[in-house]
Structure 1
Amino acid sequence: MSTNLVLLFERFHINDELLENLNDPNSVIFALDYYSHKQLDDMEIKHEILDSYLTTSDLSQLNKTILNISTTWYTDPTIEKELLFENINLGWLLEQELYPSLIQTMIIFFSLIKIHKKLNPNSILVSNSISKLVLTIFSNSIISIIEDEKSEKEYWNFDVFPIKYNLGPIPITLRLPRKAFFKIRKLYEQFFIPFFNNIFSKFDKKNDSVLLVDFNPSLYDVFFKKISSQKRNIFLLNRKRAAVWNFNSFKIVKNNECILGSYEQYLKKTDHEFIQNESVLINKKLEKLFSNDQLFSKIFSIDGISFWNYFSQYFKNFCKDRFSEAIYEIISSKKFLSKIKPLLIIHFYEVALQEKILIYHARKQNILSMVLQHGTPHVSFPNFSEMNSIHGTIPIYNDKKIAVWGPIMEKYAIEHGIQKNNIIVSGSPRHDSYFNLKKQKSDDDGLILVVLGQLDKKNAGSQLTNTYIQYEEAIKVICKTLKKITDRKKIIKLHPGDMKWKSVMVEPLINKYDPEVQIMVDANLPRLIQSSSVVISVGLTTVLLEANIFNKPTMTILSDPQERLSASSSGNTMFFNSNEQEKFEKTLHQILYVRETSEHFINKGNEFVKQYLANHGTASEFLANSIDKLILD
């Protein structure tokens, strides 16, 4: 009996040929991802999920291969020779963005290899956008193409910058294309920053300078006050988001007389011409380099089978775009640092393209730099420490400083090569305001607050279709439970990151199962937590720790079972699976209406806060004094 294979990816266009194949009893139908699975489910078509064939051993092999490709492809001597620009290998700058974007492609590719060993179909009907991947493996089958619902694919996570806010009760999300963001940023640097600095900023040549990179003033208000009181010039360099974007951030930056830094203010016409010429030159080098299909086919492969024929259509343009950006950053950051001459740089995320370049030049110019912990990393997650070049939890240079929130992260840093004398156990400056707010008397308004974590691209296991399904099921469990509770206000706070790129579309789900619940994308989170009776999360998030600080019980539904291993690093909470609705409802009811249960959760949270955070409410002062001592020494 002949077998027809139907392979569907993302959202597909339905036509007569596809319907005929879907209803053919000889067809074996696979959903290659969450979106195609959802569409088939809605059509009530029986199908299999492609990546369900992957074993634990397969996932381990995938994780190692993805990490290896992301961090070594550019080290091939032929490639490195062409990618060196001012002694920086431009490929090294792409690690953090390449890694998560490879995960889904390699999951599908490896799954197809496994299916090919079991099936030898006569014909294959496949979604257009994934057809090159299928052709590589099923070269002897007759292949027909199904048109995708969208011709344009968003392959790279950071090609879009999400901007979220609430217009009254209505959540608004704008998705700004990367190039548009850079154009707006350039105008902001050329016009707003000089205007602001001339009127509100204070620069004294007699004083030393400190550079703060990509700080959100609204989160670090207390720290800004402490560090600006030390009679130093405080420069703010924000490459990923504006330092001043609303009245609150304006007020904080103005009151502390910070100086808005920009690359544009130091670049001349000749610099721009040089950058443009070098960008043209690197593009010519890339065209020549990418003509060597044999070299790249060998690198972008698994089990000796290459996926380069498919991946190259995305990767080539990605390199051209990012390398042009990198050349701008390399020339500009070097000039910027030489002009403002800071004694210290404080930043969060050393593995991002912009910060890699900035810190590279800082080290060349003998400028001290310090990484400041900015969240609760999943340090117990499988193979987490091996991926530091991707997530940047500790410095990529083990001789530099790091300020951590408490003894747990201090221990982790020491175990992974950071010398104890380079570690400042400061506590969390961003949470000083939480502790200060906690001291104020505030009545519990009875709010049930739900916060949605992001479907992070941590490894292959975190991107399986079933992980997405469980995320959706978690939202269903919460919404169905909340609908039964009529005497409480209910808010679901969305994650601030982009939840439309390879993620679950949560807003339609929420409206379907509980249209009465309020959805918020932008909010005063400390106030929301403070007014709540319980905080519920989908996945692990720093908000759990913040709820612990405010003496709020917490509950968490996990979509990724690997996250259970990270329980010790995100806050004290009670875990549930998405198939435990009855248990979830019962526990929530006890927290809301049985005082002893609520107090038990609160006590556990207090214990976690004591263990995880140092210097409660005084972290900003401690860090500012440590910085003062570091500079004076």
Structure 2
Amino acid sequence: MENLEQSTSNNCLILIDSSISFNELKSFLNTSCKIITFDYQSHILLKQNNIVHEISDEFIDDADGVQQTCYLLSRWSNDKLVSENLCYDGLNLGNLIQEEFRHFLIPIVKKFFELTKIYEKFKSSEFFAAPALYELLTCFSTQVKKIGISQSKTEFLNDTVLFKLTPSLTFRLSSDVYNSFKKIYDDILSVLFKPRINDSNILLVEADPLKLKHLLQILHQNNLKPVFLNRRRPVIWNLSSFLLIISSKSKFVSYHHIHKNDLYQRIMFDKKIISDKLNHLFENDSFFSKFFTVNDKSLWQFVKPRLYVLCKKQLIKSIEEIRITEILFDKYGFSHVLVLSEIGFNEQITLHVAKKKSVTSVLLQHGVYEDGTNSFTYNDNSGVIPNISDKISVWGEIMKNYLLSNGISLQKILLTGSIMHDDLFFRNDLKQNNFILFAVTPPSQNHVSELSVDLREKFDLSIKLIIDAVSKMNKNLVIKFHPSVTEKEILRIRNSYPYDFVKITNQNITSLIEKCEIFLVTDFSTTILDAAILKKPIVLIQIMNFSKNSSFFQSLLTIEKTDVEKILKSIIEDSKFKNSVIAKGNVFLSNYLVNGGKSSKILVDYLTSMRTVSINNH
């Protein structure tokens, strides 16, 4: 690959991404044009065809700085001018789409940074660019021509839904189609699972009942009524979830329970007001052009039509969501609200209504979060820090101290342990099979650094080295991808390694950990706790550049990808070494988790005591 310090005498630059096919690129291959790729797929395409090119990543020297810019731009609605226009019922509606908008912004802002640097370096050149890159470049240059066919629509994070029908059958639906089916489904089931009106209803928002099995049972035993408000995900989707809802006497609320005719006129009136305010707000190009400026060049021309579509769809929809959520609170008298995140659309609405109704809210820690240096901004923007919730239920001293060190009050913190892991402490009939389990979490779109070609190549190389290592050990390798991984990515890996001893599965990860001989995992994963509880040897392979002072990397066996074969061989052949690896997992478990098997009881005791105080005060 050519060095960026070389002469820029080439008078033509070809800027491509994954939207460009090889056929569309062919006409430029016999020219002196310099080619720059802007994503991993286009880099691989050119690499496989032995075409010399540069990578856009090389024009960024501060990925964290770009990420901070994404955080800043995603909070556009916090500006006084915007918040005054988008405030409804005391809630800044713009904040409801912060997660979706940031997810959209991260790759766009990264490319914009790169393009401004490339433009400065090659100002005198003629640019030919893929459609999205062309549109970004035209924000500040007219010396650009488009190659390829423009995409008709920008897809946002929640425009599609991954629906898991069985462990082996998953498919994606558009959110509109999914919500149409879900509405009918909810309306039918709501007749069977409609809650009663009383002050013992505990509202769980966008929660998976199977992950809260022990909590639901303990709530039922203490005469508290679990009630689900799941607007995005179904409460019941298979036999296991159905039987759990039945046995725990859980209920769920549906908008079917509300007579919307009484609200219709007001909702339509309020929607019209917000729609008019949005239209007026988006006419203020002067303000937005200045706000969405990166490297002294405005991104607003590109962002404007896309942000407008997102706002029109989600913010208008939020009016009905807010009003109906208020009625649900008034009707069913919830004593507490439990949420797993503060960043989600419906979670924010529910927490806002809970505040208005003086209902105590608890944010449940639902995973292992990075706790190293400089991780707070990332966690804060991920909705796992209690900014809105009255309390946060944490899993152990590590998370408690992390929150305290970042300014969260001790009075907000409930040291409960993990309600999601209680069940595992009661499993004794473990059966070990002759396979190695590899839990894979590939780079995502949550941080600019995760979009780099170098990181994606490290990830692919790690999979190759692990498969090669296991192939020499007469063992089967089962690969379990994180639920966020697309079917396209899974298919790519499957086609790359069509070996009999390699199996890619969608089965429940905990059931796989129960049966495996060795547990391999990349970077941060909550499944490490599952493996530690089940006393499996855990090998952590670090790919991403997380803080070295994280509790993960201090306690567990953390290795380089090139050492996989040696470590696996030692675990299989040396029982003493294997036990030492298991012991490391035990140390991490004892450091990270308290109240194993008792967490749900401790949380429910708190909810019960708070309910008693509330009753006595009335």
TM-score band, normalised by shorter chain = over 0.9
Task: Note closer, same or farther for the CA distance 1:416–1:567 as it changes in structure 2 (3 Å cut).
Answer: closer
Shift of 1:354: 0.8
Q: Say whether 1:105 aligns with 2:112.
A: no
Match of 2:27 among 13, 20, 23: 20
Shift of 1:281: 4.0
Residue 468 of structure 1 corresponds to which residue in structure 2? 456
- Letter of the aligned partner of 2:548 in structure 1? L
Match of 1:241 among 230, 233, 241: 233
Instruction: Answer yes or no: is the 8 Å Cα contact 1:343–1:367 preserved in 2.
Output: yes
Task: Give distance in 2, aligned partners of 1:494 and 1:152.
Answer: 30
Task: Note closer, same or farther for the CA distance 1:631–1:514 as it changes in structure 2 (3 Å cut).
Answer: same
Residue 528 of structure 2 corresponds to which residue in structure 1? 544
Instruction: Please list, as runs of the form range in 1=range in 2, the aligned pairs for 1:123-522 lying within 5 A after superposition.
Output: 123-139=126-142, 141=143, 143-148=144-149, 151-152=151-152, 154-164=154-164, 171-197=168-194, 203=196, 205=198, 208-380=200-372, 383-397=374-388, 400-437=390-427, 440-486=428-474, 488-499=475-486, 505-517=489-501, 519-522=503-506
Task: Note closer, same or farther for the CA distance 1:76–1:618 as it changes in structure 2 (3 Å cut).
Answer: closer
Task: Note closer, same or farther for the CA distance 1:80–1:63 as it changes in structure 2 (3 Å cut).
Answer: same
SS at match of 2:517: strand
Task: Give distance in 2, aligned partners of 1:549 and 1:270.
Answer: 52
Q: Percent sequence identity over matched residues? A: 25
Task: Give distance in 1, aligned partners of 2:485 and 2:327.
Answer: 33
Unaligned residue ranges in structure 1 (runs of 5+) = none
1:505-556: CA deviation from partner (whole Å, max 9, x where unpaired): 1332233224324545532322211211111123321111211111111223
Task: Give distance in 1, aligned partners of 2:287 and 2:503.
Answer: 49
1:387-446: CA deviation from partner (whole Å, max 9, x where unpaired): 444212221137x11111111111122223332233211111111111111xx1434212
Shift of 1:60: 3.3
Task: Note closer, same or farther for the CA distance 1:186–1:522 as it changes in structure 2 (3 Å cut).
Answer: same
SS at match of 2:408: coil
Instruction: Answer yes or no: is the 8 Å Cα contact 2:442–2:459 preserved in 1.
Output: no
1:219-260: CA deviation from partner (whole Å, max 9, x where unpaired): 121111111111233211112211111111111111111121
Instruction: Answer yes or no: is the 8 Å Cα contact 1:545–1:572 preserved in 2.
Output: no
TM-score in terms of structure 1 length: 0.90
SS at match of 1:158: coil
Instruction: Answer yes or no: is the 8 Å Cα contact 1:165–1:521 preserved in 2.
Output: no
Residue 53 of structure 1 corresponds to which residue in structure 2? 59
Match of 1:5 among 6, 10, 13: 13
Task: Give distance in 2, aligned partners of 1:595 and 1:452.
Answer: 26
Instruction: Answer yes or no: is the 8 Å Cα contact 2:203–2:226 preserved in 1.
Output: yes
- Letter of the aligned partner of 2:184 in structure 1? L
Task: Note closer, same or farther for the CA distance 1:76–1:212 as it changes in structure 2 (3 Å cut).
Answer: closer
Shift of 1:626: 2.0
SS at match of 1:565: coil
Task: Note closer, same or farther for the CA distance 1:514–1:247 as it changes in structure 2 (3 Å cut).
Answer: same
Residue 50 of structure 2 corresponds to which residue in structure 1? 44
Instruction: Answer yes or no: is the 8 Å Cα contact 2:386–2:392 preserved in 1.
Output: yes
Task: Give distance in 1, aligned partners of 2:204 and 2:469.
Answer: 44
Residue 91 of structure 1 corresponds to which residue in structure 2? 94
SS at match of 1:444: coil
Task: Give distance in 1, aligned partners of 2:218 and 2:36.
Answer: 58
SS at match of 2:520: strand
SS at match of 2:210: coil
Task: Give distance in 1, aligned partners of 2:468 and 2:43.
Answer: 22
SS at match of 2:558: strand
Task: Give distance in 2, aligned partners of 1:14 and 1:279.
Answer: 47
1:353-374: CA deviation from partner (whole Å, max 9, x where unpaired): 1111111111111111111110
Which segment is superposed worse, 565-574 or 425-434? 565-574
Match of 2:584 among 582, 600, 604: 604
Task: Give distance in 1, aligned partners of 2:318 and 2:504.
Answer: 35
Shift of 1:573: 3.6
Task: Give distance in 2, aligned partners of 1:6 and 1:270.
Answer: 59
Task: Give distance in 1, aligned partners of 2:279 and 2:289.
Answer: 16
Instruction: Answer yes or no: is the 8 Å Cα contact 1:5–1:121 preserved in 2.
Output: no
Task: Give distance in 1, aligned partners of 2:262 and 2:182.
Answer: 21
Instruction: Answer yes or no: is the 8 Å Cα contact 1:403–1:426 preserved in 2.
Output: yes
Instruction: Answer yes or no: is the 8 Å Cα contact 1:31–1:50 preserved in 2.
Output: yes
Cα root mean square deviation, aligned: 2.3
Between the two proteins, the alignment pairs up a number of residues equal to 605
Shift of 1:80: 2.5
Instruction: Answer yes or no: is the 8 Å Cα contact 1:297–1:308 preserved in 2.
Output: yes
TM-score in terms of structure 2 length: 0.92
Instruction: Answer yes or no: is the 8 Å Cα contact 1:474–1:558 preserved in 2.
Output: no
Task: Note closer, same or farther for the CA distance 1:174–1:366 as it changes in structure 2 (3 Å cut).
Answer: same
Task: Give distance in 1, aligned partners of 2:131 and 2:309.
Answer: 19
Task: Give distance in 2, aligned partners of 1:306 and 1:519.
Answer: 48
Which segment is superposed worse, 73-82 or 368-377? 73-82
Shift of 1:14: 3.7
Instruction: Answer yes or no: is the 8 Å Cα contact 1:554–1:601 preserved in 2.
Output: yes
Task: Give distance in 1, aligned partners of 2:170 and 2:457.
Answer: 23
Q: Say whether 1:620 aligns with 2:600.
A: yes
Match of 1:117 among 98, 120, 123: 120
SS at match of 1:528: helix
SS at match of 1:46: coil
Task: Note closer, same or farther for the CA distance 1:61–1:456 as it changes in structure 2 (3 Å cut).
Answer: same
Residue 36 of structure 2 corresponds to which residue in structure 1? 30
SS at match of 2:52: coil
1:117-137: CA deviation from partner (whole Å, max 9, x where unpaired): 221243211101221111224
Shift of 1:454: 4.4
